[in-house]
Amino acid sequence: MSSSSALQLWKEYRIPLVCMAFAIATLSIILSNKEKVNSNTNNTNEDKENNSDSKRDKDASENKEPPNEVEGIVQDMEHDPTIPTLSPAAVSRVMDHATAEQKPYRHQGLKKEEFRKLPKVIRKKPKNKKQADPVTTSASAPIVTSSTVDGCCGGKNKPAGDTSTGCCGGKYKNENNHNNTMVDDDGNIITASVPTSTVSNGCGGHACACSSTNGFAPTAPAKIDPLLLPMLTEPMKVFYSTITGTAKLFAQELAQSVASRGLPEPKLIDIVDYDTEDFLSESSLCIFILSTYNVEGPNDWFLKWLEDTRFDWRVERESLKKLKFSVFGLGDSAYGDEFCNGPRSADKWLGQLGAQRVWPFGEGDKNGDQGGAFKQWNDALLESLLDPNQSHVHEAYFSSDEEDGASASEHDDDGEFDEDGQAVKKTKEEKLGLPTIDGGSTSEGDMVDVEDMGNVARKIRQAKEDKALDEEAYANQKVRAKRMIGETKDGRAIKPREVREMVSPLLYKSLTKQGYKIIGTHSGVKICRWTKAALRGRGFCYKHSFYGIQSHLCMETTPSLACANKCVFCWRHHTNPVGTEWRWKVDDPEFILEGALENHYGMLKQLKGVPGVRADRFVEATQVKHCALSLVGEPIFYPHINEFVKLLHKKRISSFLVTNAQFPDAIASMDPVTQLYVSVDASTKESLKKIDRPLFRDFWERFLDSLDALGRKGQRTVYRLTLVKDFNTDEIANYVELIRRGQPDFIEIKGVTYCGYGGASGLTMANVPYHTEVVRFVELIQEQLGAGYEIAAEHAHSCSILVASTKFKKDGKWYTHIDYDKFFDLVESGEKFTSLDYMAETPSWAYFGAPEGGFDPEETRYFRKSKEQRKAERERQQEVEMQA
Ligand SMILES: Cc1cc2nc3c(=O)[nH]c(=O)nc-3n(C[C@H](O)[C@H](O)[C@H](O)COP(=O)(O)O)c2cc1C
Ligand code: SF4
C-alpha cells in the first residue's frame, strides 16, 4: 500500500479505530481489576494493611497527598464484618471531624513510614473479647484505640538533628493527640482516633510497639467520659436571662461556636420560658448565661426556685444529679459586692443540688471587656468538653456559710460526711447511677469502659422515655397562667412566665393513693378515721372531749397542700410541694369549698353499707358542721383564706385553722375563725429546725413573730404541741416562755402518732411517748406556768391533754366547749367579740382524771379485734366499697 493510499485509509477509518483501541484498553483494565478484587477478598487483614500501605507508597512516590484517612477507614468498615455499620449521619460526623483534624498532621509533613504508623480504624470494642497483649498483638488483631494513647510516637517528634530510627523512648512525646468520640444513631459508641501529631505517652519499656507491623500499639480499651454523652447524643441547652439583650447575644455566640465544631446545634431557651421543675429531670448539658439585676428581673424565678429547692430538706439532696451545667454571669463591677451575685448563687446552688459542673463559673464585667471575657470562657469551655482526656467535672463553687448569710449550723448539710465526719466523695459513676466496678469503687478513675456504654446508652434512652411520659402527662393537665415580671427599659414587656399548678401528676397519684381527694389544683379533702368511728357509734376524736365536736359532722380539708416545712411527723410522706411563697395557680375559694363538700359527701356515701354504720349518724353526717383546716399543708398559705373561711361561716360551718407559725403576717391579717391554732413543735431554735425542718432561713424569727401575732389576735387561740420523744420532750422552761409570749387560751399536748414513716424523717416507734410520759410532761409545764393555766381535759385514747387558761373555768366548772350557734351569730353581727363570748360547758366525763378518760359514755367502747377478725372485716368492707 502506497503511503498516500494508507493515509487515505487512515483518514477514513481513524475514528472507529481509535474507539476500538480505547475499548480494548478499558476492557483489559476492568478484567485485571476484577482479579485483584477477588484475590483481595481472600486476603488476611495483614494483606489488606499491606495493600493499603502499597497504595500509600504509590501515592507518596507520585508525590501525591496521602488519601483522606477517614475515607479509608469508612471503606475498611464497609468490608470488615467485625465493624458495626454506621448510619450515614454518624459517618458524616466522623468525616467532618477527621477532615478538620488532619490539617495539623499534614502541616507537619510526615514521611510515608511515619504516616503508616498512624491508627486508621474506627472500631467498637468487640464484645467479651479480651484485650490482646500489646507486645504480641499482630497487625491483624482488631485495634481498639484509646483516648489515652500509649503507643509509639514512631520518632515523629524527633528534632531534625536526631537521626536515630524507631522508638523515641518517650523522649519527644507531646500532648497533642486528637480523639473524637462519637455515638452512632443507634446509641453505639464509636471512637474515631485521628492523631494529628505524636502519641503522648512515649513507647519505652516492654510495651514498645515500634517493631510491630503496623507500628501502632493498641493499649487500654477505648473509654469515654460519660459526662460527654449528653452533648453527643442530644443538643445542649443554652439558657439565658436578659433585659437589655447581651446575654442572649452571648448565647447565640455560644450556639454558633458549638455548631461550628460539628456538634448538634444547641437549643436557646429564655429562662423565663422554662418550667423550673423540669430541671429535676433534665439530663442535657445545660449552659446558663445569666445577667445580674438588683431589681426585679428575669432571673428571679429561677433563683428563687433553686434556693427553695436547695434549702428544702424534703427534696432529695442530689435532686439535680442528672443535670450537667456551667454558668456564665454578666454583671457590672460598679455594683461592688453585688457584682454577678445572682449568677454566682445559681452556680453554687446547682452544684449543691448535685448537678455536675462541666466547666467553672465565668463572669463578664460590663465595666470591662465583657465580650472578651465571654469569648475566652466560651472557647475554654468547648475546648475542655471536646477533650476526652480532661475531667469534665470541676470543683463546685462552695461559698462559706458566712457568705450565705447563715450560720454554719444552718448549712451543715452542704456536703456529705461519713461516720468519721470526713467528706464523702462519690465517684462519677455513682453520681450518674452507673454500674461500678467491684461493688462500688471504680478501679480506673473517672473513665467508664466501653463495655459499660451499653448500660449508659440504655439509661439515657430510659431517662428520655420517662421524661417524655412525664411531659405528656403534665401537658395534658396543666392550665397555665402568665406572670408579668416587669418591663424592659424601652417599655417592651418582658415575656411573662408561666405559672404551673401545685399538684403535679406524680403528686396527684401519690395523694389519691393515700386516700385524698384532690380539688382543683392545690386543695385536698380526706375522711378521717374518727369520722368512720363516729358513724358507727364508736367514739369521737379528742375535739369532742375538748370542744364538743362530733367527728361525723366534721370535714377535714386544706386549701393548700403546700407548706414551708418538712416536719418529721408529717403525714404526707414528704411528697407535697413546698415553698416560701405562693407560686402556683390560684383556685377560687367557692370552687374549693364546693369541691371539698362534694368529695366529702361522696366519700361518706361509700361508707353507707359498712357494717355498724348508724342510720341516724349517717343522716346527720350529710350536713357538715365543722371544718378542720388542718389536714396537711399550710391553709394560711392560700391567698384567699379569709374569703374561704367567710364562706364556711356563711354555711354555719365552724373553722378550726391550724398554722405552722411561719407566716406571721398572714396570722395578723386573718379574720376571726372559730379556733386558731399554732403548731408549737419545739421550744428552741435548734430543736425546731430539727423537727420542723423549715424552709425559711429566718424560721425562728418567723415562729416568734407568729406567736406574738397570735397573742394580739384576741381570738380563741390554741398552741398545739406534738411530743416526739428524744426530739422535743425536754426544754420545759422554754415552752413555758413561749406560752407566756403568745398567751394562748388553750394548749393541746399530744404524743406523736406513728404512721409508718418512710426513711426521710427517721422516726420510729421509739419516738412515740407513752400516755404516762405525756401526762408527766404536761404536769411539769403546768407547774412551771403557775397560776393562769390548769390541766382541763383529756382524751386518753389519742394520748391528748388540754391545758386551759383559767378564764374558761367558772365556779369550779370548765367551759372549754364551744357554743357554735353563738359563734355564727357573733360573726354575722359584725361586732367585736372574744373567745369568752361563745364558750360552753365541758362535760365531766372529759375532765382530766375522769374515769371515762375523755370517752363519751353515750358511745360504744370499741376494743381491738383479733387479727383474723380484722382481716375478715376488712375484706367485707372492701367488698362493700367495691359494690358502692
Ligand atoms: C437596673 C439594673 C440593675 C443592675 N444590677 C446589677 C447588679 O446588682 N449586679 C451586677 O453585677 N450587675 C448589675 N447590673 C448590670 C447588668 O447585669 C449588666 O449590664 C449586664 O451586662 C446586663 O445584661 P443583659 O444585657 O443581658 O440584660 C444591673 C443593670 C441594670 C440596668
Ligand atoms: S406543717 Fe403540717 S403539713 Fe406541713 S409539714 Fe408540718 S405536719 Fe406536714
User: Ligand 2 centroid to 281 CA: how many Å?
Assistant: 26
Q: Is the pTM of this model over 0.90?
A: no
pLDDT at 152 (0 to 100) = 35
Quick one: which atom of ligand 1 is closest to the CA of 293? 5
Give the model's pLDDT for residue 772: 85
Which grid coordinates are listed for 762? 427517721
Q: In the predicted model, is pLDDT for residue 99 greater than 50?
A: no
* Rounded average pLDDT over 808-812: 95
Q: What is the pLDDT of residue 648?
A: 98
Instruction: Reply yes or no on whether the pLDDT at 198 is more than 50.
Output: no
Please tell me the residue having the least CA distance from ligand 1 atom 3.
293
Among 557, 572, 574, residue to substitute to test ligand 2 (most atoms within 8 Å of Cβ): 572
pLDDT at 11: 64
Select from 560, 634, 678 the residue to mutate for testing ligand 2; criterion: most ligand atoms less than 8 Å from CB. Answer: 634
Return the H-helix or E-strand segment holding 628: strand 626-629
- Give me the pLDDT at residue 407, please: 26
The residue whose CA is least distant from atom 6 of ligand 1 is: 293
| C-beta 565 within 6 A of ligand 2 | yes
DSSP letter at 695? S
For ligand 1, atom 2, the nearest C-alpha belongs to 293
Q: What is the dihedral of CA 671, 673, 679, 680, to 10 degrees?
A: 80
Query: Do 523 and 535 meet the contact criterion of CB atoms below 8 Å apart?
Result: no
**Region of 731 on the Ramachandran plot (φ > 0 left; ψ -120 to 50 alpha; else beta):** left
- Position in ligand 1 atom list of the atom nearest CA 365: 21
Helix axes 732-742, 699-713, angle to 10 degrees: 50
C-alpha dihedral sign at 527, 530, 533, 534 = negative
Would you place residue 454 in the very low, low, confident or very high pLDDT band (cuts 50, 70, 90)?
Answer: low
Given a cut of 70, whether residue 209 has pLDDT beyond it is no
ipTM for the assembly: 0.83
| C-beta of 724 in contact with ligand 2 (< 6 A) | no
Chain centroid to CA 759: 19
Task: Count CB-CB contacts under 10 A for residue 378.
Answer: 22
CB of 246 shorter than 6 A to ligand 1:
yes
For ligand 1, is residue 365 a contact (CB within 6 Å)? no
Residue 243 Cβ contacting ligand 1 at under 6 Å: yes
pLDDT tens-digit profile of 282-320? 888 999 999 998 877 788 889 988 988 887 766 667 888
- Which ligand approaches the C-alpha of residue 366 most closely? 1
Output the pLDDT for position 550: 92
Does the C-beta of 660 come closer than 6 Å to ligand 2?
yes
pLDDT given at position 89: 45
**Average pLDDT over the chain, rounded to whole?**
69
Q: What backbone torsions phi and psi does residue 784 show, to the nearest 5 degrees?
A: -75, -25
What residues contact 18, with CB distance under 8 A and at least 6 apart?
none
- Domain made up of 228-427: CATH architecture: 3-Layer(aba) Sandwich (3.40)
Q: How many CB atoms lie within 10 A of CB 71?
A: 12
Rounded Cα–Cα distance for residues 550 and 557 (Å): 16
**What's the average model confidence in pLDDT over 332-357?**
89
How many other CB atoms are found less than 10 A from the CB of residue 394? 16
Burial class (CB in 10 A: 0-12, 13-18, 19+), 728: buried
- Kind of pairing, strands 523-526 and 356-357? unpaired
Q: For 186-190, 734-738, 768-772, 792-796, which range has the lowest pLDDT when averaged over its residues? A: 186-190
Of the chain, the percentage scoring pLDDT greater than 70 comes to: 56
Cα gap 437→770, rounded to integer Å: 48
State the average pLDDT over residues 412-439. 32
Ligand minimally distant from the alpha carbon of residue 367: 1
- Give the model confidence (pLDDT) of 243-273 as tens digits: 888 999 999 999 999 888 878 889 999 998 8
480 C-alpha to ligand 2 centroid (Å): 27
Could you tell me which of 311, 316, 306, 308 has the C-alpha nearest to residue 758?
A: 316
CA 570 to ligand 2 centroid distance, Å: 5
Q: What is the dihedral of CA 604, 607, 608, 611, to 10 degrees?
A: -150
Residue with CA at minimum distance from ligand 1 atom 22: 291
- For the chain, helix, strand, coil in percent to 5 are 40, 15, 45
Which pLDDT belongs to residue 10?
Answer: 65
Query: Ligand 2: does its nearest atom lie under 6 Å from the Cβ of 632?
Result: yes
Q: Which of these ranges, 559-568, 793-802, 851-860, has the smallest mean pLDDT? A: 851-860
- Taking residues 772-788, what's their average pLDDT? 91
Q: 331 CA distance to ligand 1 centroid (A)? A: 5
CA of 694 to the centre of ligand 2 (A): 10
Instruction: From 268, 339, 366, give the residue whose CB has the most ligand 1 atoms within 8 Å, as the site to mutate.
Output: 366
Domain with CATH 3.20.20.70 in the chain: 521-846
Tell me, in angstroms, the distance from the centre of ligand 1 to residue 278's CA. Answer: 27
The per-residue pLDDT for range 57-75, each reduced to its tens digit, is 343 334 333 333 333 333 3
Give residue 538's pLDDT band: very low, low, confident or very high (50, 70, 90): confident
Q: Which positions ≥6 away from 388 have C-beta within 8 Å?
A: 147, 179, 181, 223, 224, 225, 228
Ligand 2 neighbourhood includes 572 CB (under 6 angstroms):
yes
Residue 27 pLDDT class (50, 70, 90 cuts):
low
Tell whether the model's pLDDT for residue 217 goes beyond 90.
Answer: no
Cα R_g (the chain), whole angstroms: 38
| Range list of H helices, 759-845 | 771-785, 820-829
- Residue pair 592/564 in contact by the 8 Å Cβ criterion: no
**Which of the four pLDDT bands, split at 50, 70 and 90, describes residue 658?**
very high
Buried b (16+ CB within 10 A) or exposed e, 504-523: bbebbebbeeeebbbbbbbb
Ligand 1 near 366 CB (within 6 A): yes
- Report the residue among 335, 339, 369, 494 best suited for mutation to probe ligand 1: largest number of ligand atoms under 8 A from its CB: 335
> In whole angstroms, what is the distance from residue 219 CA to residue 222 CA?
9
Exposure b/e, 530-557, CB count within 10 A at least 16 = b: bbbbbbbbbbbbbbbbbbbbbbbbbbbb
* 329 alpha carbon – ligand 1 mean position (Å): 10
| 815 three-state secondary structure | coil
Percent of the chain's residues with pLDDT above 90: 31
One-character DSSP codes across 179-227? EEEEE-TTS-EEEEE--SS--SS---STT--TTSSSS----SPPEE-GG
CATH 3.40.50.360 maps onto the chain at: 228-427
Centre of ligand 1 to C-alpha 299, Å, is: 11
Cα(269) to ligand 2 centroid in Å equals 36
pLDDT at 743 over 90: yes
Is ligand 2 within 6 A of the CB of residue 570? Answer: yes
Q: Report how far residue 143's alpha carbon sits from residue 129's, in angstroms, rounded to the nearest whole number.
A: 12
pLDDT above 50: residue 829? yes
What are the φ and ψ backbone dihedral angles of 757, each rounded to 5 degrees? -65, 155
User: Which pLDDT belongs to residue 817?
Assistant: 96
Does the structural domain 521-846 have CATH classification 3.20.20.70? yes
Q: Which atom of ligand 1 is nearest to the CA of 339?
A: 11
Contact 274, 654 (CB under 8 A): no
Which numbered atom of ligand 2 lies nearest the CA of 564?
A: 4
CB 292 near ligand 1, within 6 Å = yes
- What is the full DSSP assignment across 590-608? HHHHHHHHHHHHHHHHTTT
Closest listed ligand to the CA of 248: 1
The average pLDDT across 430-434 equals 36
Q: What is the mean pLDDT of residues 836-864?
A: 83
| CA neighbor of 289 nearest in space, from 333, 235, 253 | 253
Instruction: Label residue 446 exposed, middle or buried (CB < 10 Å: 0-12, 13-18, 19+).
Output: middle
pLDDT in tens, 366-388: 989 999 999 999 998 888 777 76
Nearest by Cα to 153 from 112, 99, 200: 200
Under the banding of pLDDT at 50, 70 and 90, the label for residue 176 is very low
Query: Average pLDDT in the 491-501 region?
Result: 60
Task: Indicate whether residue 295 lines ligand 1 (CB < 6 A).
Answer: yes
φ, ψ for residue 746 (rounded to 5)?
-135, 155
Least confident of 189-198, 223-232, 330-339: 189-198
Mean pLDDT lowest among 476-480, 500-504, 523-527, 662-666: 476-480
Nearby residues of 173 by Cβ (< 8 Å), 6 or more positions away: 153, 157, 198, 199, 200, 201, 202
Residue 833 in contact with residue 826, Cβ under 8 Å?
yes
Among 632, 679, 757, residue to substitute to test ligand 2 (most atoms within 8 Å of Cβ): 632
Q: Where does residue 830 fall: left (phi above 0), alpha (psi -120 to 50 degrees), or beta otherwise?
A: left
Residue 23, judged by CB atoms within 10 A of its CB (0-12, 13-18, 19+), counts as: exposed
Atom of ligand 2 nearest to the CA of 569: 7
CA of 342 relative to ligand 1 center, distance in Å: 10
Contact 800, 792 (CB under 8 A): no
| Cα angle value 660/571/408 (rounded, 5°) | 55
User: Mean pLDDT lowest for which of 465-479, 604-618, 637-651, 794-808?
Assistant: 465-479
Alpha carbon nearest to ligand 1 atom 5, residue = 293
Q: Which atom of ligand 1 is nearest to the CA of 370?
A: 21
Dist CA 854 CA 801 (whole Å): 10
In angstroms, the CA 693 to CA 313 distance is 7
pLDDT tens digit string along 126-140?
333 333 333 322 333
Q: Is 35 exposed, middle or buried (0-12, 13-18, 19+ CB in 10 A)?
A: exposed
* 301 C-alpha to ligand 2 centroid (Å): 24
Residue 185: what pLDDT?
A: 36
CA 783 to ligand 2 centroid distance, Å: 30
pLDDT tens track for 699-720:
999 999 999 999 998 899 999 9
> Which residues lie across from 717 on neighbouring strands?
676
Say how many Å lie between the first and final Cα of the chain, rounded. 119
* Residue whose cell numbers read 418529721: 568
